[in-house]
A = this chain, B = another copy of it.
Amino acid sequence: MKALITGGAGFLGQRLARKLLATGTLKNASGQDERIERLVLLDVVPAPVIDDPRVDILTGDVLDAEFLKRAIDSATGSIFHLAAVVSSQAEADFDLGMRVNLDAARLLFETCRRLGHCPRVVFTSSVAVYGGDLPEVVQDDTALNPKSSYGIQKAIGELLLSDYSRRGFIDGRCLRLPTISVRPGKPNKAASSFASGIIREPLNNEGTVCPVTADTRLWLLSPRQAVDSLVFGHELGAEAFALNRVLNLPGVSVTVGEMVEVLGRISGQAAVGKIRWEGDPVVQRIVGSWPRSWDMTRAHALGFKGDKDFDSIVQAYIADDLSGAR
């Protein structure tokens, strides 16, 4: 079978690719392990070369229907749709966000529908679909009231995935990710970019800016757990999603102040001193509209795991991305 990762050049896509290649199989519709013959990494920029004969790198526009038809065929049993325009970028460029976060998801689902073989599609959504007047712990039945274009677009993607699945066009599973921290690499245009930057940059002996107040509470997930959950969510049978195709993944609730305390404990006060506190009202407004935690009963019942605490999130970053060195 063929598997496809959109956003395959991104850090999550890359990490997922390596995990899939290492495992070598994914479950098919009958629940049997099937060998991954080809793994297609699709992105608008070329994915880094992975030295594995199973990997195909496709570079192009996820909105180009002909291109997408080359990426998805009747042998494509599994799709991980990670391609997205991040929150601050979707806020700054409304049309770009609508095209990539909404139109591309729809085109991808529609491409599957035309093929008619109902592949498994794992789609990532976000804390940003929530907003407005939220309870301290968001419940599975809490209404979505997104306060960013990114959140609106992801919420629409969830609805489309649900209906395409209900109608049997795809076997979709939408996993709502907490804010990912600690992301490796460079800052990006996500409003939550700082949630990685305030740990990553000091650990790399670089300065960074924290645009929100220390009492801002975040709901976090490590890249390592995120990738494990994407695969776990793929491997579950469709009956796990019969009542609802959308699932809130487990997270860890911490304030920015607590995150910095952990940094200080692990790396010392000099690291903490690398953070310049400089409020950005736009980022504060967007991030402040997100859940500070949500109920994990359903995710735990299905067997999903989260991180233990923020300490272990930082340790996972050090182990996975700093080669164990500090």
Contacts and interface: CB of A to CB of B under 8 A. Distances in A.
A321 to B, nearest CB: 35
A152 to B, nearest CB: 4
Contacts of A232: none
A96 to B, nearest CB: 14
A160 B159 CA distance: 12
A145 B244 contact: yes
Contact of A144 (B133, B140, B144, B147): B144
A149 B163 contact: yes
B140 A143 contact: yes
Contact of A159 (B94, B132, B156, B244): B156
A305 interface: no
Interface string A156-178: 10011011001100000000000
Number of this chain's copies in the complex:
2
Given A142-B141, A160-B156, A133 B166 contact: no
Given A146-B159, A152-B160, A163-B149, A244 B132 contact: yes
A325 interface: no
Contacts of A94: 167
A243 interface: yes
30 contacts: A94-B167, A132-B243, A132-B244, A133-B141, A133-B243, A140-B143, A141-B142, A141-B143, A142-B143, A143-B143, A143-B144, A144-B144, A144-B159, A145-B162, A145-B244, A146-B159, A146-B162, A146-B163, A147-B166, A149-B163, A149-B167, A152-B159, A152-B160, A152-B162, A152-B163, A155-B159, A156-B156, A156-B159, A156-B160, A159-B159
